[in-house]
Amino acid sequence: MPELKGFQRKHLRGLAHHFKPVVLVGQKGLTDALVESVDEALDQHELIKIKFNEFKEAARKKEILQRLEEATGCEAVGLIGHTAVLYRRQADPEKRKITVPERESRTDGED
């Protein structure tokens, strides 16, 4: 999957705004069980929120997110406070629920 552009990340964050976190990162941090849970949630939903319950340092959260990206093939599209939004396009085109815009929409009336 090519890296998402800024407007695509913004679109996905907007879609995830009303989502509740489906995976919680506890005191053990990055474990095999956490990676498996994130992988399964991404297979089902494509776009998920995860919440950091124990980690308050931004650097530690970013490190865990980076390692989750590597382990699951997802991309972090946002991190606000203790909540992160992750996206991974569904491999099966028939199961895809989310359409990521290819081009930035223009709102100024010009074509």
What global pTM score does this model have? 0.88
pLDDT at position 111 is: 47
pLDDT at position 3 is: 85
Q: At what angle do helices 32-45 and 58-72 cross, to 10 degrees?
A: 70
Low-confidence ranges of the chain (pLDDT < 70): 1, 106-111
CA gap 33, 16 in Å, rounded: 23
pLDDT at position 96 is: 87
Class of residue 60 by CB neighbours under 10 A (exposed 0-12, middle 13-18, buried 19+): middle
The answer regarding whether domain 6-90 maps to CATH 3.30.110.60 reads yes
pLDDT at position 108 is: 53
* C-beta separation of 25 from 50 below 8 A: yes
pLDDT at position 25 is: 93
